Structures are given as structure tokens and as C-alpha cells.
Amino acid sequence: MSREITITTLKYNPSDENSQPTFVDYTLEETPGMTLYIALSKIKASIDHDLSSDFVCRAGICGACGMVINGKPKLACRTLTSEFEDGKIELLPLPTFKLIKDLSVDTGSWMKNMSIRVNSWIVANEETDISKLEKRIEPEVADEVFELDRCIECGLCVAGCSTAIMREDFVGAVGLNRVARFSIDPHDSRTDEDFYELIGDDEGIFGCMSLLACEDHCPKDLPLQSKIAYMRRKMVKID
């Protein structure tokens, strides 16, 4: 049995001076297994050619389609319309990030700034000869690094974060998790003192108020709470 659903989205084009933020209702027939990707694609093709949104992989792995769905930051492509019993779904663009248009926001620039800010890369003091056997790593250690490397930079942790709303330069759980990831990577030669230089302030590890919306909304179920606590304990020792 199919039913009608109503999707209400914010529409606004900040680059157009005649544009005013408005809510628009779209009514459409729900199909079995319908995701918000499928629903929004239908709306864009057949109801409103002017609606903008961002989808890339539509499989929940690229992190492009974060939006606020009935009040919660979520990935739209892996949200099924059947999850909403009354068939009413309200969509808003992710806060914190710069709005491009409607549901499309600029997460790319934010994530790039964060990555550069926390030096999100391996710093090694030894050269690697790629013709020779690779460095040996304990299997469990590789697995631990992988666990934290699963972050997809979707920005849901940032959109749900109170500190990020108050402090424009806060690196967010995504940034703190990244530092934790490099700190346990045996290929990285940086010390805790080096990491302190990067995140030992209120825009970094000491900005977190431990409200933990980041972990609640992480689509990858990353252990953000324990990793932020772990980094804070390390950084406090240096402070």
C-alpha cells in the first residue's frame, strides 16, 4: 500500500538578492524502499526544477548529503521515508556550514580548513624505500587506526555541536578524532607536544563541552566521546 508523503524544505538562494527564505511543501507518492535521495530526485525532476541538494554516492559512504531531517542532522541518502509514521518530513540545510542554496551547503571548504588547521597528514622522520618490504605493524594496531580512519567528513558532528555554533574556528569532533587517529599511527613520528601545538586551545580540545551530540549523530558510530576524552587527558598533562 503506498501513501502520500509531504516533504517540506527550506528554499533560499543567498546569492540572489531577491530571494527570501521560504518553506515549500512537496507532496508525492511514496514507493517501497524510498530514501530521501529518491524522493528529492523525483521532486527535482518532476515538481521543482529549481530545488538544489547534494548527493554523490547515494550509499551512505561519501558524506555529501547531510541535512537536518525533522530536527536531527542525518545523511539523507540513507534515511528511508518509511521511518516517518505521519509521512511528514521537514528538511533544513546543515547549520554551521556556508549555505550555497536550499539544501546545498559548503562542507568542503570547512573540512579543508580543519584539515590544514590540524595538519591532517602523516609526519614521518624516516624515508620510505617503496621497493623494499613495508614497515611491520601489529595487526591490532592497524585495526585501531582503521577504526578512527572511517570518518567520512559528513559534518553531522559539527552541525550538532554547540561549541561549533559559538566558536567559528572550533575544529569539531571530526578534527579531534583526526588528531587521535594520527597520534596512534605508528607511521607518524609526532609527539603529544606536537599535537598540543595544534589543538591545545579553546578552538581545539579544550573547546569541547562534552555534550556529545557528535557521537549521537555520527553515521559511522565512531567512538568520538572516548577519543575526545583520551586526547584531552593527554593534552592536559602537557598544559
Partner 1 sequence: MQIKYTDALIIGGGLAGLRSAISTTDKGLDTIVLSLVPVKRSHSAAAQGGMQASLGNSIMGEGDNEDVHFADTVKGSDWGCDQEVARMFVNTAPKAIRELAAWGVPWSRVKKGDRETVINAEKTTITEKDEAHGLITARDFGGTKKWRTCYTADATGHTMLYAVTNEAMKRGVVIEDKKEAISLITKDGQCYGAIVRDLKNGGLIAYVAKGTMIATGGYGRIYKQSTNATICKGTGHAIALDAGAYLGNMEAIQFHPTPIVPSGILLTEGCRGDGGVLRDKDGYRFMPDYEPEKKDLASRDVVSRRMLEHIKKGKGVKSPYGDHLWLDISILGRKHIEKNLRDVQDISKTFNGIDPADEGEKGWMPVLPMQHYSMGGIRTTPKGQSVNVNGLFSCGESACWDMHGFNRLGGNSVSETVVSGMIVGNYFADYCKETDIDIDTKMVQEELTKQDNYLDELLALDGKESIYDIKDEMRNIMQDKVGIFRNGKDLEEAVEELKVLLKKTKDINITNKHRLLNQELEEAYKVPMMLKVALCVAKGARDRTESRGAHYREDYLKRDDENWLNRTLSYWANEDDLEPTLAYEELDIMKMEMPPGFRGYGKKGFIIENPLSQKRQDEIDKISEEHQGDRHALQEKLMPYELQAEYKSINQRLGDEDE
Among 21, 146, 166, 189, binds partner 1 (CB under 8 A): 146
Among 17, 32, 85, 86, binds partner 1 (CB under 8 A): 32
Contacts of 198 (CB under 8 A, 6+ apart): 117, 118, 119, 179, 204
Is the CB of 84 or the CB of 206 nearer to partner 1? 84
Q: How far is the CB of 146 from partner 1 (least distance, A)?
A: 4
Is the CB of 16 or the CB of 237 nearer to partner 1? 16
Site string for partner 1, 61-80 (x = CB under 8 A): xxxx-------------x-x
CA dist 199 → 45, 49, 98, 155, 161 (Å): 45, 44, 23, 19, 17
Is the CB of 129 or the CB of 168 nearer to partner 1? 129
Task: Tell whether the torsion through CA atoms of 221, 222, 223 and 228 is positive or negative.
Answer: negative
Length of the chain: 239
Site string for partner 1, 179-198 (x = CB under 8 A): ---x--x-xx----------
Among 157, 63, 44, CA closest to 102: 44
Among 51, 212, 223, 229, binds partner 1 (CB under 8 A): 51
Long-range CB contact pairs, 11-20, < 8 A, 24+ = 11/50, 11/51, 11/102, 12/99, 12/101, 12/102, 13/101, 13/102, 14/99, 14/100, 14/101, 15/101
Residues that bind partner 1 in the complex, under the rule CB under 8 A: 13, 15-16, 32-33, 35, 44-46, 49-52, 54-64, 78, 80, 100-101, 106-108, 111-112, 115-116, 119-122, 124, 128, 130-139, 142-143, 145-146, 149-150, 152-153, 182, 185, 187-188
